[in-house]
Structure formats: C-alpha cells, structure tokens
Amino acid sequence: MVISMKSIMENNYNPSMGILIDVKDPISYKEKHNPYSINIYYDKLIMNHKTLLDKNKKYFIICDKGHKSKQAVRILSFYGYDVTYVINS
C-alpha cells in the first residue's frame, strides 16, 4: 500500500492550519526550532500516538534534516492521522 505524503514549505505554514510538531530530540529543539512548534521527540510520538494525537486534528511534522519527520508522517498516515510533512525553509 502506497500512501501519498502531503508536504508544505515551512515558510508557508500558519498556526491556524494545525499543530506543528517538531520531532527532534529536546536538546536540538532548545537550540533551534520554529516558534509555533511543540516538541514531541520522534520515538515518543510514534510509541504514544494514541494518547498524544487526535484523529480529528491536523498535524504538521518537522525536524532538522527531514528524515525523522518524513518517517513519522508515513507511519502516522498509515495509522489514519491527518499529517503533513514540513520541509525546512
């Protein structure tokens, strides 16, 4: 099953669109992050998605290089969440 991945450039993101989740580790997040983002480390997000996320909300997933955020979007899409991959600008 191939799941198409929605994506958006970071500079096109607006907080009214949904929740921006940065999946990098807390130390890297403290060093640099989008001011509208919340930090939920990748492993924590994937392992606890049922308690952390709501399938009726829209989520935008970002990280530094894009690897973990892309993977998170693939997994969460498979689980039925409305997620969009955010490309760093």
Per-residue pLDDT of 47-68, as tens digits, reads 999 999 999 999 999 998 889 9
Locate the domains of the chain by residue range: 6-87
Alpha carbon distance 72, 42 (integer Å) = 7
Q: Is 74 exposed, middle or buried (0-12, 13-18, 19+ CB in 10 A)?
A: middle
What is the rounded average pLDDT of the residues 76-87?
96
The topology under which CATH files domain 6-87 is: Oxidized Rhodanese; domain 1 (3.40.250)
Alpha carbon distance 53, 49 (integer Å) = 5
pTM of the predicted protein model: 0.94
Q: Find tokens 């992050």 and name the residue.
A: 33
The SS3 of residue 40 is coil
